[in-house]
Structure 1
Amino acid sequence: MSALEPTIALLAEMIAHPTVSDSGNRELVDVLAMRLRAEGARVRILPDASGTKANLLASLGPEGDGGLLLSGHLDVVPPGAGWTSDPFRLRRTGGRLYGRGTCDMKGFVAASVILLPQLAARGGPVHLALTHDEEVGCLGAQALSAQMAREGPRPAMAIIGEPTRMRVIEGHKGCFEYTTRFTGRDGHGSAPDRGINAAQAAARFAVRLDALASELREMRPQGVFDPPWSTISVGRVEAGVARNVIAGQAAVEWEMRPVSEAEARHVKHALGAHVEAEVAAHPGLGIETECFGEVAGLEPRRRNAARDLLLGVVGGAPGLVPFGTEAGIWQGLGLDAVLCGPGDIAQAHRPDEYLEESQLAACLDMLEALAART
C-alpha cells in the first residue's frame, strides 16, 4: 500500500514525542498542525489552562455542519518497567511496530493525518479531532466538545479509532473515577476513643462500595455488556502512618462503570446517605469526594449512521467493549459515533506495546474505502 510507509514514518515521529498524560503534548500538536496546514486544512489549536497541552481540530472541505469526524487522543500512559527497547523510539521488527502509543492510539492518528486530504476530496466536510488527557478522564475531549457545541462545527458522524482490531464497536459502559478522602484526628493508639480514626471510616466506606457493587449486579443480571451489570472497583486505599497511631488521614481511590445514568445516580444517592450517617455518628470526621472524570458510555442505538457506514466498508457484526473511550462524549454532542481502529486493546498500557503492520494497513484500507464511498 502506497500510504503505509509514509504512515509508519509519521508514526515514528509521533512516538518520539513522549506525550505522557502528566506532561505536555504541545510539541507534537505543533508538528501535526504544521503538516495539516500544509495540506490546506483549517487548524485550530486549543490549549488547556497550563498551556503545555492542547487539543487540535483540523477541518478540510466546505465549512459548516455535517460530515465526518475522525477522533483520536495524543496522550499515552507512562512506559513503566519491562521494556526491551526504548519505548519512545519506534522499533520495527517481525511485522510489528513497537513503542508507547503505537496501538493506543497514535497508529490511527498517523493514518488519519496521512489520508485526511483524500477523505476531503470526496466533497463533504471532514474533521480530525486530536485531544489531550484521554487517559486521565477524557478532559481534552470534554473541553473540545463543549467548545464545538458553542462555536461549531457540528459533524454528523464520528469514528473513534481506539484499538478494536478494526472491528466496528457500537457501545461501551461509562467510566467514573473518584478519590474519597477522610479527615479524622490522630493520636496515640492506646487511646482510640480520643481520636477520630480515618482509616476505619475509609474501611467502612470500602465495605459500602462492595455492597453497592452487589446491588448493581442484582439490578441488571442480564444484558448486552460483559459483565451485564454496572461495576464498582476499589483500586487503592491509603491510610495512617504507623500501627500504634490513630489514623488522621485516609483515602479510597475507586471507580464506577455504569451501564446507565440511573444506576450511577443510585450509587451517588446511596453514598451520600452513607456519608451523612458517618459524619453524624463521628463528629469531627470529614469526608470529601473528588471526581477525576465522569465519562459517559457509548449507548448502542437502533439508528447509527456511522455504524452502518463502517459495516458497509469493513463488514462483520457490531460489537461491544468493556473499556471506556471518548465516543460517549461525541455521542452526547449529537453525533452518530462508533469505534473502529487498528490494534488490540490487550497490547495497550503494556511493556513492549506494539501495533501489527497488517492492522495499520487495514486501517488505511478502511479510510481509503470511506473516501471512495461517502
Structure 2
Amino acid sequence: MTLDPVVLAERLIDCESVTPATGEVFACLEAMLVPLGFAVHRFVAGEPPEGPVENLFAVRKGPAGSRHFAFAGHLDVVPPGEGWSSGPFKAERRGELLYGRGAVDMKGSIASFVAAVADIPAVAGTLSLIITGDEEGPAKYGTVPLIAHMREVGELPDLCLVGEPTSVHRLGDMAKIGRRGSVNIWLSVKGSQGHVAYPHLADNPIPRLIAMLAELDALVLDEGSDWFQASNLEITDLEVGNRATNVIPAEAKARLSIRFNDLHTGQGLVERVTEIAERHGGTAQAVISGESFVTLPGAFSDLVSAAVEAETGLKPELSTTGGTSDARFLRAVCPVIEFGLCNATMHKTDEAVAMDDLVVLARIYRRIARAALAVSAS
C-alpha cells in the first residue's frame, strides 16, 4: 500500500488540537492506522487545568521473537496566535509549501511515518506508534502514562525514534542523540511591610533578593562536556507586585530556569540553589522537568545516519542542542534518537513544511524502520 504523506499531513492539520489535545485528531490518526493492521488503544488521562489529555498507542505485531521498533510523537500543538495568511487549522498548499499549525511540529513527521510503515510488511517485525496530546504542555499526562501502559501490556520497544523537527537548514543536517536536563526554581524572600519614611520599622526583602540573584547569576556551572554545551542558569521572572510608591513590600519573588548537561543532576542543582537562597534569607521551590541524557553513537545512530545520507546525501550532525522533548521519558525504556523536519517555522505564524521534504522524510523513516527491525543496537 502506498500512502501520500502530504495528504495525511493535511488531514491531521485540519483537526484543531491545541494542547492538551483530545478527540478528533486522534480519531483521524486511528483511521489511518487501522487499515494498515495496527491495533490502536486510545485513553484519556488527567484532570483540568493540565488535562484531560488523550494518548494513543498503536502496535502491529510481527512474528514471535521479532524486534520491536517504535516511533514517538505528539498531535498537540501550541496556540496559533494571530496574523496567519490562511486558517491555521485548514491546511493550504501554496507553491511548494504546505501551511498549517503542526505542519512541522509535528503532524508532518507523524504523517510521514504512517506513509513509511504502509510499505513495510508485518513479517519484518513489530512496529508501534507512541503518540501523546500533551508534549507542548506540562507533559504530565502524556508520554509518562503511555510508558506505563506499554509496560502493563508488555510491549516495550527495542529502539525508538522521536519525530521532532531536528533539521536546521536542510532536511537531514542534524539528528538529536540527547538533550540537556531542565529545572525551574521559584525563589522567595519575605520581609516586613512598612512605610518608606520609616525603614527601621520595616524589613525590605528586595535588597536580599537582588544579592541572591547576583550570586546565582555569577555562577559558572561548567564549561561543557563531551557531548553537551555548557549548562546555563537564566533569571526568567521578577515579581514584587507593589503598586504603592510609599510602601516597603513584604515579599519579593523571582524564578530561575536551568538547562544542564550530564555533569549535573536536577536534584544536585536544586540543592545548590537552595543553599544560596537560604543564605540570603530566602526559600526555593523547584520542578525538575527532566534529566540530561545521551544515546552514545553506535549501531542505532549509524543506521539513522545511513538512512538520511541515502536519501539526502547529507550525513547528519549528532547533536544534543535545543530544548527538551519526550525523549527524556522514553530513554528510560530503550535507546532513543530524534530526527525530523526543518525547524525554522515551528511555533511561528504561517508554520509551513516543504511538501517534498515530507515525501523524502517518509522514505528516510522507511529505511530507518527496516534497518532497526533487522539489526541490534550497541
SS in 1 for 2:218: helix
| Superposed displacement of residue 252, structure 1 | 2.7
Q: 1:232 to 1:288 in 2, by over 3 A?
A: closer
Residues 233-263 of structure 1: per-residue CA shift (max 9 Å, x gap): 2223232232433334544333211111635
Q: 1:123 to 1:267 in 2, by over 3 A?
A: same
Aligned to 2:188: 182
Residues 186-242 of structure 1: per-residue CA shift (max 9 Å, x gap): 444434454454544543443233123xx21xx3256444xx211122223232232
- Counterpart contact for 2:211–2:280, Cα < 8 Å: no
| Superposed displacement of residue 64, structure 1 | 7.4
- Counterpart contact for 2:69–2:159, Cα < 8 Å: yes
Unaligned runs of 5+ in 1: 280-284
SS in 1 for 2:275: helix
Counterpart among 200, 205, 213 of residue 206 in structure 1: 213
Equivalent AA in structure 2 for residue 54 of structure 1 = E
- TM-score normalized by the length of structure 2: 0.82
Structure having the larger proportion of residues in helix: 1
Number of residue pairs matched?
355
| Superposed displacement of residue 68, structure 1 | 0.5
Aligned to 1:294: 289
- Counterpart contact for 1:19–1:74, Cα < 8 Å: yes
Q: Residue 173 in 1 paired to residue 182 in 2?
A: no
- Counterpart contact for 2:100–2:351, Cα < 8 Å: yes
> Does 194-203 or 77-86 show the bigger shift?
194-203
Percent identity for Structure 1 against Structure 2? 25
Q: 1:121 to 1:235 in 2, by over 3 A?
A: same
> Does 200-209 or 46-55 show the bigger shift?
200-209
Aligned equivalents of 2:204, 2:121: Cα separation in 1 = 62
Counterpart among 141, 144, 158 of residue 142 in structure 1: 144
CA-atom RMSD in angstroms: 2.9
Aligned equivalents of 1:175, 1:369: Cα separation in 2 = 30
Equivalent AA in structure 2 for residue 26 of structure 1 = G
| Superposed displacement of residue 372, structure 1 | 5.3
- TM-score normalized by the length of structure 1: 0.83
Q: 1:173 to 1:115 in 2, by over 3 A?
A: closer
Q: What does 1:101-140 align with in structure 2 at a 5 Å threshold?
A: 101-139=102-140, 140=142
Residues 285-337 of structure 1: per-residue CA shift (max 9 Å, x gap): 6x34241x52233404143x33122222122144204212222322222x121
Aligned equivalents of 2:353, 2:370: Cα separation in 1 = 26
Aligned to 1:311: 305
Aligned equivalents of 1:319, 1:167: Cα separation in 2 = 9
Q: 1:247 to 1:135 in 2, by over 3 A?
A: farther
Residues 117-147 of structure 1: per-residue CA shift (max 9 Å, x gap): 4335352110101113222344322332244
Unaligned runs of 5+ in 2: 310-314
Aligned to 2:344: 346
Q: 1:221 to 1:107 in 2, by over 3 A?
A: closer
SS in 2 for 1:45: strand
Aligned equivalents of 2:153, 2:32: Cα separation in 1 = 24
Aligned to 1:282: none
Aligned to 1:278: 280
Aligned equivalents of 2:32, 2:337: Cα separation in 1 = 27
Aligned to 1:330: 330
Aligned to 1:256: 258
Aligned equivalents of 2:252, 2:277: Cα separation in 1 = 15
- Counterpart contact for 2:54–2:133, Cα < 8 Å: yes
> Does 104-113 or 198-207 show the bigger shift?
198-207
| Superposed displacement of residue 361, structure 1 | 1.2
Counterpart among 32, 35, 54 of residue 29 in structure 2: 32
Q: 1:372 to 1:148 in 2, by over 3 A?
A: closer
Aligned equivalents of 1:122, 1:179: Cα separation in 2 = 49
Counterpart among 37, 41, 44 of residue 44 in structure 1: 41
Equivalent AA in structure 1 for residue 319 of structure 2 = L
Q: Residue 55 in 1 paired to residue 55 in 2?
A: yes
Aligned to 1:230: 231
| Superposed displacement of residue 29, structure 1 | 1.8
Q: 1:297 to 1:26 in 2, by over 3 A?
A: farther
Aligned equivalents of 1:154, 1:167: Cα separation in 2 = 29
Aligned equivalents of 1:141, 1:65: Cα separation in 2 = 24
| Superposed displacement of residue 265, structure 1 | 4.4
SS in 2 for 1:332: coil
Q: 1:45 to 1:2 in 2, by over 3 A?
A: closer
Q: 1:60 to 1:221 in 2, by over 3 A?
A: closer
Aligned to 1:89: 90
